[in-house]
Structure 1
């Protein structure tokens, strides 16, 4: 495993990320906290593009827990059947919609524990909602962040929990709010899995990856 970058190098890495993309955003389309929560839950083992394609016709008719329950599991299944694991995801979305209505007055809660009490909502999904909707500096570690963190030395760790803590502990506080967006985008478009685009990478001189491509 590579070593954790020194603080001055971390500052420079995120200064460059911010300069390149001052206002990074998640790519899942949503209209409110509920549609964000559902979109993130649907994105497990699926692409954001695939989820967006499925939900563009869904959000106009089911953008609240009440409307989702009215649509029902069969109706929801028809909208998301192009997404992997769609049957189980449909069951979870209907269940979480019912819980939101019964326990949370139809509102998406703003605590990690409450979010993770919902069916199909794990820590990563909860962190995305906390960050993107509630503005909390929560770090949602996906495969992109795990790869980038361990290749570069930005946030190395043997599992996602360790990587999450490495971000929280080592990324300068002024960059915490947007850190996971920058890392995801970097992993999705530059530091890709099979052949990273090191020639186009603006942090390559700070990165510890030994097998850099030309």
Structure 2
């Protein structure tokens, strides 16, 4: 049941996101669209409550509960960012908004480092929820699966750190030679080179 609910929450996230953005940009109802987008956190609250009830009713703590905890952590860390990212792309495509910013060089590394911090937050939230479940189950129950998921969160953080570092080591140059694409995207002229 927990796995089905995780899938339902993920599908619900994208359905609410699509509905909110459609109301916002296609139907020209920005307040209604924003209200629909604000329903997103309710999905995670439902998942958290159902997971706790499942454990309280005597379910064995296993990988499903660990996955639910990391999924909630992911939503806490990346949910708003994902909505904002998709909103920017939809605004550009359907409402004449600015094009999405492309980052190169050190700016790309800084962006990836910020995403890594979000991954750390995801793992921390997941680990805290898992620790709560471990304490809830107590010493009499088998919590090895929950501890494995805590370790999985840590492995995800380390893998993402390596990926982020590749953007520092092998920096991609802007093909147009710009030095500050974010400034240009916001309408500010880039600094002229003195060379």
- Normalised to the residue count of structure 2, the TM-score between the two structures is 0.25
Bigger Cα Rg: 2
Q: Which has the higher helix share?
A: 2
